[in-house]
Amino acid sequence: MKVKNLNKSKLPIVRIDNSLEKYKGKVLFKDKLDKANDMLKTVGLPKSRKQS
Amino acid sequence: MKLERYEIKAEKSLMIFEFVSEGPKGKIHKLVQFGETNLKDLFNLAFGDKDLITGEINDSIVSNNNDSDKVLATVVATVYAFTDKYPNAWIYATGSTKSRTRLYRMGLTKYLTEIEEDFDLYGQRVGEWESFEKGVEYEAFLVQRKNT
Protein backbone atom coordinates (compact mmCIF):
# COMPACT_ATOMS: atom_id res chain seq x y z
CA MET A 1 0.00 0.00 0.00
CA LYS A 2 1.29 3.45 -0.88
CA VAL A 3 2.00 5.91 1.92
CA LYS A 4 -0.65 8.27 0.54
CA ASN A 5 -3.30 5.55 0.90
CA LEU A 6 -2.04 4.54 4.32
CA ASN A 7 -2.52 8.13 5.44
CA LYS A 8 -6.15 7.95 4.40
CA SER A 9 -6.87 4.66 6.18
CA LYS A 10 -8.85 4.87 9.41
CA LEU A 11 -5.87 3.83 11.48
CA PRO A 12 -3.38 6.68 11.12
CA ILE A 13 0.36 6.52 10.88
CA VAL A 14 1.68 7.73 14.23
CA ARG A 15 5.26 8.85 14.52
CA ILE A 16 6.75 8.29 17.95
CA ASP A 17 8.26 11.50 19.28
CA ASN A 18 10.32 11.09 22.43
CA SER A 19 10.00 14.80 23.21
CA LEU A 20 6.38 14.12 24.15
CA GLU A 21 7.47 11.75 26.92
CA LYS A 22 7.79 14.80 29.20
CA TYR A 23 3.99 15.03 29.32
CA LYS A 24 3.54 11.42 30.34
CA GLY A 25 1.90 11.04 33.74
CA LYS A 26 0.94 14.73 33.79
CA VAL A 27 -2.65 15.90 33.77
CA LEU A 28 -2.68 18.45 30.97
CA PHE A 29 -6.36 19.32 31.18
CA LYS A 30 -7.07 19.20 34.89
CA ASP A 31 -10.36 21.11 34.85
CA LYS A 32 -11.76 18.82 32.21
CA LEU A 33 -10.58 15.71 33.99
CA ASP A 34 -12.04 16.89 37.30
CA LYS A 35 -15.31 17.67 35.56
CA ALA A 36 -15.32 14.24 33.91
CA ASN A 37 -14.64 12.48 37.22
CA ASP A 38 -17.45 14.41 38.91
CA MET A 39 -19.85 13.48 36.15
CA LEU A 40 -18.80 9.84 36.04
CA LYS A 41 -19.17 9.47 39.80
CA THR A 42 -22.91 9.75 39.42
CA VAL A 43 -23.49 8.56 35.88
CA GLY A 44 -21.06 5.64 35.68
CA LEU A 45 -20.90 3.62 32.48
CA PRO A 46 -23.54 2.26 30.15
CA LYS A 47 -23.73 -1.48 29.73
CA SER A 48 -20.96 -2.52 27.37
CA ARG A 49 -20.96 -5.21 24.77
CA LYS A 50 -17.45 -6.00 25.85
CA GLN A 51 -16.15 -6.87 29.25
CA SER A 52 -12.60 -5.85 30.01
CA MET B 1 -14.15 9.34 7.88
CA LYS B 2 -12.20 10.09 4.72
CA LEU B 3 -11.43 13.70 5.61
CA GLU B 4 -8.03 15.21 5.24
CA ARG B 5 -6.11 15.22 8.49
CA TYR B 6 -2.80 16.31 9.95
CA GLU B 7 0.22 14.14 10.61
CA ILE B 8 0.25 12.79 14.13
CA LYS B 9 3.04 12.31 16.64
CA ALA B 10 2.76 10.56 20.00
CA GLU B 11 4.78 9.32 22.92
CA LYS B 12 5.26 5.58 23.22
CA SER B 13 2.17 4.77 25.28
CA LEU B 14 -0.07 6.55 22.72
CA MET B 15 -1.85 8.53 25.42
CA ILE B 16 -0.54 11.92 24.33
CA PHE B 17 -0.58 13.04 20.72
CA GLU B 18 0.56 16.19 18.98
CA PHE B 19 -0.25 17.67 15.61
CA VAL B 20 0.15 21.07 13.98
CA SER B 21 -2.84 22.97 12.65
CA GLU B 22 -2.06 25.17 9.68
CA GLY B 23 -4.21 28.05 8.51
CA PRO B 24 -4.58 31.82 8.32
CA LYS B 25 -3.43 32.18 11.95
CA GLY B 26 -0.26 30.26 11.17
CA LYS B 27 0.93 27.02 12.74
CA ILE B 28 -0.78 26.06 15.97
CA HIS B 29 0.52 23.09 17.93
CA LYS B 30 -2.27 20.95 19.36
CA LEU B 31 -1.98 18.37 22.10
CA VAL B 32 -4.46 15.54 22.61
CA GLN B 33 -4.51 13.61 25.87
CA PHE B 34 -6.36 10.46 26.83
CA GLY B 35 -6.32 11.00 30.57
CA GLU B 36 -7.01 8.25 33.08
CA THR B 37 -10.18 8.86 35.08
CA ASN B 38 -11.26 7.36 38.40
CA LEU B 39 -13.08 4.62 36.51
CA LYS B 40 -11.06 1.68 35.25
CA ASP B 41 -10.55 1.64 31.49
CA LEU B 42 -12.25 4.98 31.09
CA PHE B 43 -10.23 7.84 29.64
CA ASN B 44 -11.03 11.49 29.27
CA LEU B 45 -10.32 12.87 25.82
CA ALA B 46 -9.12 16.46 25.91
CA PHE B 47 -7.24 18.60 23.48
CA GLY B 48 -6.00 22.12 23.28
CA ASP B 49 -3.40 24.50 21.95
CA LYS B 50 0.17 24.42 23.14
CA ASP B 51 1.88 27.74 23.72
CA LEU B 52 5.37 27.19 22.36
CA ILE B 53 6.83 29.95 24.54
CA THR B 54 5.29 29.15 27.93
CA GLY B 55 4.63 25.46 27.25
CA GLU B 56 1.14 25.92 28.71
CA ILE B 57 -1.89 24.16 27.26
CA ASN B 58 -5.09 26.07 26.63
CA ASP B 59 -8.26 24.10 25.94
CA SER B 60 -10.65 27.03 25.91
CA ILE B 61 -9.03 29.13 23.22
CA VAL B 62 -10.84 29.45 19.90
CA SER B 63 -8.13 29.14 17.29
CA ASN B 64 -10.20 30.18 14.24
CA ASN B 65 -7.63 28.65 11.94
CA ASN B 66 -10.28 27.73 9.36
CA ASP B 67 -9.53 24.02 9.65
CA SER B 68 -12.04 22.74 12.21
CA ASP B 69 -13.03 19.73 10.06
CA LYS B 70 -9.40 18.76 9.57
CA VAL B 71 -8.68 19.20 13.28
CA LEU B 72 -11.71 17.10 14.20
CA ALA B 73 -10.70 14.39 11.71
CA THR B 74 -7.22 14.38 13.23
CA VAL B 75 -8.59 14.03 16.75
CA VAL B 76 -10.78 11.15 15.53
CA ALA B 77 -7.65 9.57 14.03
CA THR B 78 -6.01 9.71 17.48
CA VAL B 79 -9.07 7.88 18.85
CA TYR B 80 -8.47 5.13 16.29
CA ALA B 81 -4.79 4.93 17.22
CA PHE B 82 -5.54 4.92 20.96
CA THR B 83 -8.30 2.29 20.76
CA ASP B 84 -6.16 0.14 18.51
CA LYS B 85 -3.68 -0.08 21.38
CA TYR B 86 -6.32 -0.15 24.13
CA PRO B 87 -9.33 -1.90 22.55
CA ASN B 88 -11.33 -2.13 25.78
CA ALA B 89 -11.00 1.54 26.62
CA TRP B 90 -14.00 3.78 26.99
CA ILE B 91 -13.43 7.36 25.91
CA TYR B 92 -15.33 10.23 27.48
CA ALA B 93 -15.48 13.62 25.81
CA THR B 94 -17.26 16.89 26.35
CA GLY B 95 -16.67 20.44 25.24
CA SER B 96 -15.22 23.13 27.46
CA THR B 97 -18.36 25.16 26.73
CA LYS B 98 -21.92 24.31 25.68
CA SER B 99 -21.31 25.69 22.22
CA ARG B 100 -18.22 23.56 21.80
CA THR B 101 -20.08 20.46 22.98
CA ARG B 102 -22.69 21.32 20.36
CA LEU B 103 -19.93 21.60 17.76
CA TYR B 104 -18.70 18.12 18.66
CA ARG B 105 -22.26 16.79 18.47
CA MET B 106 -22.61 18.24 14.99
CA GLY B 107 -19.36 16.58 13.93
CA LEU B 108 -20.47 13.23 15.37
CA THR B 109 -23.85 13.58 13.68
CA LYS B 110 -22.27 14.38 10.33
CA TYR B 111 -20.17 11.22 10.34
CA LEU B 112 -22.42 9.01 12.45
CA THR B 113 -22.67 6.19 9.88
CA GLU B 114 -18.90 5.88 9.62
CA ILE B 115 -18.37 6.21 13.37
CA GLU B 116 -20.92 3.50 14.14
CA GLU B 117 -19.09 1.06 11.87
CA ASP B 118 -16.28 0.98 14.41
CA PHE B 119 -17.56 2.40 17.70
CA ASP B 120 -20.45 2.16 20.11
CA LEU B 121 -21.42 5.77 20.68
CA TYR B 122 -23.40 7.11 23.63
CA GLY B 123 -24.68 10.52 24.62
CA GLN B 124 -25.28 11.69 28.15
CA ARG B 125 -28.58 13.38 28.86
CA VAL B 126 -30.30 14.08 32.18
CA GLY B 127 -27.77 12.04 34.08
CA GLU B 128 -28.10 8.92 31.92
CA TRP B 129 -26.24 7.37 29.01
CA GLU B 130 -28.22 6.51 25.92
CA SER B 131 -27.31 5.41 22.42
CA PHE B 132 -26.39 8.49 20.44
CA GLU B 133 -29.16 9.77 18.23
CA LYS B 134 -29.21 12.57 15.73
CA GLY B 135 -30.97 15.75 16.80
CA VAL B 136 -30.66 15.17 20.53
CA GLU B 137 -28.69 17.57 22.68
CA TYR B 138 -26.14 15.82 24.91
CA GLU B 139 -23.90 17.01 27.71
CA ALA B 140 -21.11 14.55 27.00
CA PHE B 141 -20.19 11.62 24.78
CA LEU B 142 -18.76 8.19 25.33
CA VAL B 143 -17.32 5.77 22.79
CA GLN B 144 -15.91 2.29 22.85
CA ARG B 145 -14.37 0.39 19.94
CA LYS B 146 -16.57 -2.39 18.66
CA ASN B 147 -15.27 -5.91 18.60
CA THR B 148 -13.54 -6.55 15.31
Q: How many CB atoms sit inside 10 A of residue B103's CB?
A: 14
> pLDDT by residue (tens digit) across B15-42?
999 999 999 989 999 999 999 999 999 9
Q: Which pLDDT score is estimated for A1?
A: 47
The answer to whether position B127 is within a domain reads: yes
Residue span of the structural domain in which B97 resides: 9-145
Q: What percent of chain B has pLDDT over 90?
A: 66
Report the chain A residue with the minimal C-alpha distance to residue B83: A11
Helix (H) or strand (E) holding B28: strand B26-36
Which of A17, A28, A41 faces B9 most closely, judged by CB atoms?
Answer: A17
End-to-end Cα, chain B, rounded Å = 18
The answer to whether position B94 is within a domain reads: yes
Q: Count how many domains chain B has.
A: 1
Q: Show residues of chain B in contact with A20, CB under 8 Å.
A: 9-11, 16-18
Q: Under an 8 A CB cutoff, do A21 and B88 touch? A: no
Contact assessment for residue B105 and residue B138, using Cβ atoms and an 8 Å cutoff: yes
ipTM over 0.85: no
The C-alpha of A2 sits at a distance from chain B's nearest C-alpha, in angstroms, of 16
Q: Show residues of chain A in contact with B143, CB under 8 Å.
A: none
> pLDDT by residue (tens digit) across A14-30?
999 999 999 988 898 88
> pLDDT by residue (tens digit) across B80-131?
999 999 999 999 999 888 888 998 899 899 889 989 999 999 999 988 999 9
CA distance B41 to B31: 21
The answer to whether position B4 is within a domain reads: no
CA distance A46 to B131: 9
Phi-psi region of B55 (alpha: psi -120 to 50; beta: other; left: phi over 0): left
The answer to whether position B68 is within a domain reads: yes
Per-residue pLDDT at A8 exceeds 80: no
